[in-house]
Amino acid sequence: MKRMLSGIKPTGQLHLGNYIGALRHFVESQNEYEMFAFIANLHCITVPQNPQELQKNLKDCVALYLACGLDPNKATIFLQTDVKEHAQLGFIMCCHTYMGELNRMTQFKDKQAKGEKNLSGGLYTYPALMAADILLYSPDYVPVGEDQKQHVELTRDVAERMNNRYGQLFTVPEPLVAKVGARIMSLSDPTKKMSKSDETNKGCIYLLDDFKVARKKVMSAVTDSLGKVHYDPENQPGISNLMQILSSLSNERSFEDIEKEFKGKGYGDFKKAVADAVCAKLEEIQTRYNEIINSNLIETTLANGAKKASMIAAEKLNKVQKAIGMEIL
Ligand code: AQP
């Protein structure tokens, strides 16, 4: 069985972009692949965090993984810091990643370009840690949203570099980016990615949003004055984004089909259909979340996940350290 791995960093509450771009693919993949899904809590602290909020977000993230349909009997679900090998291989990867490569990574570059002050060293080097997160488990595929593709490509480059230098250590993974929904945009500014760090809160639908709030966000989504439901991301970014959301939440319904249904109808009717689909999905997820959040399923899932992940990770780290010459005995 081929192996797949992916993670999410809950720097805030998970949102519809995380669900459409990542989580739903984890769920679809768990029957076909040996799936590893982790919660990237080391990555969270690359930016300042409020400890109480971080703890809540981490617990919610596990509950949402399960509520969205990840099955702990099929997928290995674990917290990154429960497997100490991530940090250790992370440093080794950092020593094999060039400054020039890290300088090209867009997340750090974007924050620097925005003039954000006191950016941490961890934010700069986290792509090397991400390479370790992936390579520890030898996955064949890494499903990601468009924004993370660059990091999987760096992982491939460093893996190949180390394989050439020390012999075959790592499986070189392929990024899997979905055709639809790999970059869900903000509802209030469709030129920007829907993001947890949305300052206004209006453009981002959180998976735990109240239905009325979510509906209002969709109904007030920025569109255009062209008045036709047509897929054209360049000239109609708002409408195209809503079409991607509707398609992703309705079994990959085709854009032609959506265009046909809303031909001659106003944007109000179209937005209502998107809001209905979003609220139906939120209801499904939240019903399950409410059953899980205070049960012991979170604890048992993480304990079992850490046990399985640790065994695989320890073996890989040992092999790498030996190959590099770091072990004495
Ligand atoms: N808007 C999005 N559309 C599609 N996919 C997305 N992903 C994130 N946003 C979108 C995908 O979700 C997975 C987990 O991402 P992450 O939360 O670990 O990191 P991120 O991409 O940095 O997410 P945010 O919300 O933008 O976080 P902040 O605001 O903290 O930087 C990844 O596969 C990602 O591609």
pLDDT at 324: 98
Q: 148 versus 312: which is more confidently predicted?
A: 312
Closest ligand 1 atom number to CA of residue 204: 1
User: Does residue 238 surpass a pLDDT of 90?
Assistant: yes
Per residue in 19-63, pLDDT (tens digit) is 999 899 999 999 999 999 999 999 999 999 999 999 999 999 999
User: Does residue 97 surpass a pLDDT of 90?
Assistant: yes
User: Which residues belong to CATH 1.10.240.10 in the chain?
Assistant: 211-289
User: Does residue 199 surpass a pLDDT of 80?
Assistant: no
Q: Which residues are annotated as a binding site for ATP?
A: 9-11, 17-18, 145-147, 184, 193-197
Q: What rounded mean pLDDT belongs to the chain?
A: 96
Per residue in 241-266, pLDDT (tens digit) is 999 999 999 999 999 999 999 999 99
Q: Which fold has domain 211-289?
A: Tyrosyl-Transfer RNA Synthetase (1.10.240)
Q: Is 193 marked active-site?
A: yes
User: Does residue 201 surpass a pLDDT of 80?
Assistant: yes
Q: Is 109 marked active-site?
A: no
Protein residue with least CA distance to atom 33, ligand 1: 144
Closest ligand 1 atom number to CA of residue 8: 18
Q: Catalytic pick from 193, 217, 271, 281?
A: 193
User: Which residues belong to CATH 3.40.50.620 in the chain?
Assistant: 3-182+295-324
* % pLDDT > 70, the chain: 100
Q: Residues near ligand 1 with C-beta < 6 Å?
A: 8-9, 11, 17-18, 20-22, 144-145, 147-148, 182-184, 193-197
Per residue in 13-29, pLDDT (tens digit) is 999 999 999 899 999 99
Mean predicted confidence (pLDDT) in 118-141? 97
Q: Catalytic pick from 59, 196, 228, 272?
A: 196
Tokens 């020039």 correspond to: 100
Q: How confident is the model at residue 287 (pLDDT cuts 50, 70, 90)?
A: very high
**Are the C-beta atoms of 144 and 175 separated by less than 8 Å?**
yes
User: Does residue 200 surpass a pLDDT of 90?
Assistant: no
User: Does residue 126 surpass a pLDDT of 90?
Assistant: yes
**18: CA distance to ligand 1 center in Å?**
6
pLDDT at 175: 94
Q: Which fold has domain 3-182+295-324?
A: Rossmann fold (3.40.50)
User: Does residue 198 surpass a pLDDT of 90?
Assistant: no
pLDDT at 147: 84
Could you tell me the pTM of the whole model? 0.93
**Are the C-beta atoms of 240 and 270 separated by less than 8 Å?**
no
Angle at 25 between CA 54 and CA 40, to 5 degrees: 25
DSSP assignment of 126-176 equals HHHHHHHHHHTT--SEEE--GGGHHHHHHHHHHHHHHHHHHSS----PEEE
